[in-house]
Amino acid sequence: MTDASLPNGLRVLACTPLTLLQDAGRWGWQHLGVSPSGVMDLRAAAWANYLLGNPWGTPLLEWALGGLRLQIKQDTWIAVCGAERSITLDGQTCPHATRFAVRSGQLLELGAAVAGLWGYLAVAGGFQVKPVLGSVATQMRERLGGLGGQGQIIKAGDWLPCHRAHYPRAAHRPLAFKPDYRNPKPVRVMLNPATVKDGSWTDAPFWEQRWRLSPSSDRMGIRLQGKALAALPVVPWSQGVVTGSIQLPPDGQPIVLMADRQTIGGYPVLGWAHPLDLGALAQIPAGQSVQFQPIERAQVQQDLRCFYRFFRPDAQT
């Protein structure tokens, strides 16, 4: 098959081993054991789509750590958000967190991350890929979504189809909303009152120490390393879990469940990380540390209402 016979879009010349098509997640199937998946940094992905005027959850490209090289085969507009990195178009520097025009035949190169881990590349109108169970989100473990619909990673030689687009001018994310990946803030956590209600468990060691991120962390969960916490009461049966649940295994080293998490679990749940803090947590490299601080549920609800009113004004909040 020649380039001329392929759909218009972007041709992948080089990419990292963990380059995936993602969206806001595959929701509504957890009762059948299907993980929601979706992007690791919801805020960064939301900004990339917002800059292009794309609807909430429009499919985009997510990749970790390293660089990316793309041959442009369609006149369109692009926005890159997430981890800080160099961006060049035919050797000319392009701004981060800004939409910019690309022309067919140009070469787009994105360097390795210098702050943060996960990068997001959105195109005007989104990548035109058939959804599976209502979502394009790539779930490698369950072989769902992605370019071919079976959970495949993106690799060199793949084509990412998209439409032609034109905007009168560029647009950028305001500097006030720029995240600081080099100095992450504490992750806010709602403590689980059902787990610690009898007062026999002391939670001070969880808040007071800095936790190191384990190299074994992945899209399913971020494993923390530090002074072991005292065991929580054992749950006699498995229970449903959500993204951001903080499980406490018998070794006392917490696990924060992320995008590719399971749908049920048997470990006690210490609490739930603020959904808008999970992206910042995901952007912290292995070996670096993070601290947690408590937050009330009412504040989390207020934060989420503000977030969705901005990025998803058509939704009921």
Considering the domain boundaries, does residue 230 fall inside one? yes
- For 211-227, the pLDDT digits (tens) are 999 999 999 999 999 99
Specify whether the CB–CB gap between 137 and 58 falls below 8 A.
Answer: no
Last residue in a domain, options 149, 177, 205: 177
pLDDT digits (tens, 9 = 90+) for 75-127: 999 999 999 999 999 999 999 999 999 999 999 999 999 999 999 999 999 99
**1 pLDDT band (50/70/90 cuts)?**
very low
Same domain, 168 and 256: no
- Choosing from 177, 199, 220, the residue where a domain stops is 177
Q: Does residue 244 have a pLDDT over 50? A: yes
Provide the domain limits for residue 191.
187-311
Q: Are residues 164 and 192 in the same domain?
A: no
Q: What percent of the chain has pLDDT over 70?
A: 95
Out of 148, 177, 206, pick the residue that ends a domain. Answer: 177
Q: Are residues 163 and 205 in the same domain?
A: no
Question: Does residue 1 fall inside a structural domain?
Answer: no
Let me know whether 200 and 126 are in one domain: no
- When the pLDDT of each residue in the chain is averaged and rounded to a whole number, the result is 92
- Shared-domain flag, residues 74 and 114: yes
Residues 24, 145: one domain? yes
Structure tokens at 151: 């959970």
What six digits make up the tokens of 227?
Answer: 């002074």
Shared-domain flag, residues 47 and 141: yes
> What was the pLDDT predicted at 83?
97
Residue of 75, 232, 259 lying closest to 167 (CA atoms): 75
pLDDT of amino acid 199: 57
Token pair 């959970």 is at which residue? 151
Q: Which two tokens stand for residue 149?
A: 């619909």
d(CA 119, CA 192): 32
Q: Is residue 316 part of a domain?
A: no
> What phi and psi values does residue 175 have, to the nearest 5 degrees?
-60, -25
Instruction: Say whether both 149 and 195 belong to one domain.
Output: no
pLDDT digits (tens, 9 = 90+) for 275-293: 999 999 999 999 999 999 9
Same domain, 151 and 299: no
What does the DSSP 8-state code read for residue 177? G
Task: Lowest mean pLDDT of 9-18, 195-204, 262-271, 287-296, name the range.
Answer: 195-204
What sign does the dihedral 58-179-291-295 (CA atoms) show? negative
d(CA 273, CA 260): 16
Q: Quick one: pLDDT at residue 201? A: 64
Single-letter code of the amino acid located at 235:
V
pLDDT of the residue at 136: 97
For residues 13 and 119, membership in a common domain is answered with: yes
Provide the phi-psi class of 57: left if phi over 0, else alpha when psi is between -120 and 50, else beta.
left
Query: In the predicted model, is pLDDT for residue 157 greater than 90?
Result: yes
Distance CA 26, CA 48 (A): 19
Number of domains in the chain: 2
Least confident of 86-90, 128-132, 233-237, 310-314: 233-237
Among 10-24, 120-134, 152-166, 303-317, the least confident range: 303-317
Residue 4, pLDDT above cutoff 90: no
